Structure 1
Amino acid sequence: MKDKIPYLAVNKISKFAVAYIVFLLAIFYYSTVAAYSDSFKEENIQFHSSNLVMNGTLLIPDGPGPHPTIILIHGAGAHTREEYRAEAEIFANSGIAAFIYDKRTEGYSATGIGEKSRSQFLLAKDVLAAVNALKLRADIEPSQIGLWGLSEGGGVAPLAAAQTKDIAFVISVSASGVPPIQQTSWAIENQLRHKDIQAHSIIHSFTRNGMRFLLAAEFFAEATYNPIPPFEQVKQPILAIWGENDRTAPAFESYKIVKKALELGGNEHYTIQFIPQANHDMRFSVDGFNEYEKFAPGYTESMTTWIANVINGDIPKPQIIGQIPKQDRNSPTEIMELSWFDSAWLHLIYMIVLLILFSCYFGILFIKLLQKRKLYNKKTSINAYARILGVFGIVTTLGFFGYFGNTMITNEYGPVIIGRPLPWLILQCMSFLIFLLTILIAISFCKRRTTFIFNEKLRLILLISGGVLFIPWAFYWQLLLPF
């Protein structure tokens, strides 16, 4: 029993020490972290824009007002106010009121399908409506309301600022200097290469001809919208930020275009800054694809410091901060130019014709079976090869458009083999087989056409016609290119 007493004493002392440490950590948390997060209050606000009631939340710093304020503008797609809470809380904790709001769903398609389904000018009107609502509040300094926008919002912010003097400053983050379809083509190629897809055939098919098809079909909202004129018109102090590892918008290319626009417009108070190890969303990322939840180092501090200087009258002259990022290739300008063979209607009709010609082989077979009439001369039949050509023609035609549409929506390409996604490799193999079978069946038909009965001759002529028409279509979509 005596031997256990020292052990029990030590055990009690250890528990006391652990409890004391936990107590100190709790005091430290509530005196720093908790106090920091409670340094602002929130208020839900409604405002009207184009007869639409919009909802948002204003994060108001503690302490006497009126406060400088920043309105946060969404990137492309459907977004709620909560998606930008992290940035808003950073501004609020630094003494800047931050307003976040739910993006409109009326007059703006989140899917982006349809050329008229989005409007940058409509989004800018929402921003101006928010400005008008906020500047009437007693706790907001009306002469110190600024804008922050990410990606698409990085272009909407200067568009709104160029229309009013009520906006004091602009922060544009990851804005694209090229039209949306050109930017998207560049981004898709980055994704393909990141997935170890190196085959030129699929890269060119999806990022060049595929984008032209979407443009011609008007499936891409505001595909050719020019984001640069607003940068030429904005006169307020502007901070333009790009991440070093942006793989969505071409940072180097956009920087050059935006800088030129600001200079042409005579803006004498612009700051351009590049954030190391930051992706498109300004999260920490070493490659631009895999990201951490935290922001890249220096990003938030650069914004709050810049705003403090601007509202205190220390407006910087034109300057570039940070190392200008490298860019392997420019975004493809050639996709903006459509030719007659890029017509969406042409491709739709072409697809229907191919399916009809390949299907006729089996359709006529089915009709003749019902009529119990003779189908072919067994001595001269090449029916087995013809059936393969018909089936592969139908599957490849439908399979290509199905695969293309699915990848555009899901960004999933399938397992990669020898630099190609497996579905693409299968489509290419079937296309080469269609090419060979068309030649072989056509040669055989020409040599022995007098031996075929009428029913079989008609079926083969239609089938061979489908194969012949398939070849230029497959070359257009790069399915017959081996590299």
Structure 2
Amino acid sequence: MPVFFKSLRLCVMLAMLVLSTAPAARGAEPICEAGAYGAPDQDVVVLEVKDWIPSPGLGYLLLDGRYGSTLSQDGPVSCGPGYVILKTGVAGQVRLEKRSFKRTREEIPVAGAVLVGELLEPTGQDVPPVRPLVVMVHGSETEPAIGNNRAYLLAAQGITVFTYDKRGTGQSGGFYTQNFELLADDAAAAMAHAQVLAQGRFNRSGYWGQSQGGWVAPLAATRSKVDFVAVGFGLVTSPIDEDREQMLMEAQTLHLDDHDMAEIRALSAATAAIVASHFTSGFDALEKLRQETADEKWPRLINGEYSGDMLRMSDRDLHRVGRAVFDNLEIIWDYNSTATLSALNIPLLWVIAEKDREAPITATVAALKRYRKDGKTVDVYVFPDTDHGMYEFVEAPDGSRHNTRVTDGYFRLVGDFITGKIDGPYRRSYRPEK
């Protein structure tokens, strides 16, 4: 063999040896696998595909509320085949194994639709044969609920979870609605199906409702045989009250005077009459207020849920298209959530975001205190410096907020309540005085 080819062959062999022994480049690291990692007595990491994260990256959600992308150079999660490494503290780390689950798809006939749901059961030698069962109840979002990362957070803690796509969303049929009565019927039907599917494998069952689910879950519980209800960042007021409290909070932030505050209360009363009539009456009072405040500044700044927009719409347009714009989801505007809670005789957990702009907390905390004084079993936890969704945030000089994480302690509190073993404290949360 010519010397040239011998030298070339030797170079190739040496290059292959170097490549085979060199550290793997970051791009060659194991690709993360979607799923849940951890155990009831460990941290939990949920990895899932996110539209905003390019492949092969995944989104992560941790039991302590942190979330982000696995592609982040300074993220807390790195992947191996069938496990993840979670950074803990300054230099620590823990290996979390991938959990296995049994997933059972179920179709649920309800009034005017067929809902599609999924029972998510943790499996494995370390999983008790009998576990708590929880049905997750939607907020007002229109995204599918099946495959929800929060469901996997609970399941990895040893809880059987039933999720279902709300009518008109995801795989479920029917039309999207925010009618609490109909949604409560749907949730009760989901619970009945979940209890049959998990028969003999659960020891207690109940609902976890978030946001608008805080209206629906307790109402569904009055129509089910359940052991508990957990609510996150929900209200014990009506949608009309929510709108008024949002406007008053906005007014306080803007440092409006007593005269302006009185006019805002008058605006709430005027719009309440219109929405409660489903846009059949009450327009004159709003038009009078519209004319009286035409030269004032606050009508251009105050929003609420709907009153600000109704005030800024002309009387003619409000008559013409107001119902189509503001009352097209069958909302029960004067819904009496206090009466619903009074009808319950099961343990209740209510978790509150202290600085919630969407669901102002003052009236809800007061109502829950009265509920407790009436002898009801209710645990109330408030997480400071959190907004709707239990998000911690950074507030800009203009008042806008950027969410940074779900507050630590929220997910663990909910999981502990579902399993019947609250043993806080839960990080920075506090319990309002009786």
TM-score band, normalised by the shorter chain? 0.5 to 0.7
Normalising by structure 2, report the TM-score.
0.58
Question: How far apart in 2 are the matches of 1:128 and 1:259?
Answer: 27
User: Equivalent residue for 1:323?
Assistant: 430
Return the index of the structure with the highest Cα Rg: 1
User: Equivalent residue for 2:347?
Assistant: 237
Which range moved further: 211-220 or 243-252?
Answer: 211-220
User: Equivalent residue for 1:267?
Assistant: 376
What per-residue deviation string (whole Å, max 9, x for no partner) do you get for residues 216-238 of structure 1?
42645211111111211212222
What is the CA-CA distance between 1:209 and the residue it aligns to?
Answer: 3.8
Task: Assess if the C-alpha contact under 8 Å between 1:283 and 1:292 holds in 2.
Answer: yes
Q: How does 1:281-296 map to 2 (within 5 A)?
A: 281-286=389-394, 290-292=401-403, 294-296=405-407
Confirm whether residue 156 of structure 1 aligns to residue 204 of structure 2. no
The structure with the greater share of residues assigned to strand is: 2
Alpha-carbon RMSD across the aligned residues, in angstroms, is: 4.2
Normalising by structure 1, report the TM-score.
0.52
Task: Assess if the C-alpha contact under 8 Å between 1:136 and 1:142 holds in 2.
Answer: no
Question: How far apart in 1 are the matches of 2:148 and 2:198?
Answer: 23
Tell me the secondary structure at the aligned position of residue 391 of structure 2.
Answer: coil
Q: Which runs of 5 or more structure 2 residues have no equivalent in the other structure?
A: 1-13, 33-77, 86-95, 281-322
Task: Assess if the C-alpha contact under 8 Å between 2:386 and 2:393 holds in 1.
Answer: yes
Q: Which of 275, 284, 300 is the matching residue for 1:214? A: 275
Q: 1:60/1:262 Cα in 2 relative to 1: closer, same or farther (>3 Å)? A: same
Q: 1:29/1:186 Cα in 2 relative to 1: closer, same or farther (>3 Å)? A: farther
Q: Which of 134, 143, 146 is the matching residue for 2:194? A: 134
User: Equivalent residue for 1:76?
Assistant: 140
Task: Assess if the C-alpha contact under 8 Å between 1:61 and 1:95 holds in 2.
Answer: yes
Task: Assess if the C-alpha contact under 8 Å between 1:143 and 1:168 holds in 2.
Answer: no
Confirm whether residue 16 of structure 1 aligns to residue 80 of structure 2. no
Q: Which runs of 5 or more structure 1 residues have no equivalent in the other structure?
A: 1-7, 113-117, 327-483
The structure with the greater share of residues assigned to helix is: 1
Instruction: Give the AA of the match of 1:68.
Output: P
What is the CA-CA distance between 1:291 and the residue it aligns to?
Answer: 4.3
Task: Assess if the C-alpha contact under 8 Å between 1:189 and 1:207 holds in 2.
Answer: no
User: Equivalent residue for 1:465?
Assistant: none
User: Equivalent residue for 1:47?
Assistant: 108
What per-residue deviation string (whole Å, max 9, x for no partner) do you get for residues 315-352 of structure 1?
789xxx933689xxxxxxxxxxxxxxxxxxxxxxxxxx
Which range moved further: 216-225 or 26-35?
Answer: 26-35
What is the CA-CA distance between 1:252 and the residue it aligns to?
Answer: 2.8
Q: 1:39/1:282 Cα in 2 relative to 1: closer, same or farther (>3 Å)? A: farther
Question: How far apart in 1 are the matches of 2:357 and 2:430?
Answer: 17
Tell me the secondary structure at the aligned position of residue 134 of structure 1.
Answer: helix
Instruction: Give the AA of the match of 2:84.
Output: V
What per-residue deviation string (whole Å, max 9, x for no partner) do you get for residues 376-398 of structure 1?
xxxxxxxxxxxxxxxxxxxxxxx
Question: How far apart in 2 are the matches of 1:304 and 1:174?
Answer: 16
Question: How far apart in 2 are the matches of 1:68 and 1:230?
Answer: 24
Q: 1:107/1:48 Cα in 2 relative to 1: closer, same or farther (>3 Å)? A: closer
Task: Assess if the C-alpha contact under 8 Å between 1:42 and 1:58 holds in 2.
Answer: yes
Question: How far apart in 2 are the matches of 1:224 and 1:43?
Answer: 38
Tell me the secondary structure at the aligned position of residue 105 of structure 2.
Answer: strand
Confirm whether residue 93 of structure 1 aligns to residue 156 of structure 2. yes
Task: Assess if the C-alpha contact under 8 Å between 1:244 and 1:325 holds in 2.
Answer: no
What is the CA-CA distance between 1:206 and the residue it aligns to?
Answer: 5.7
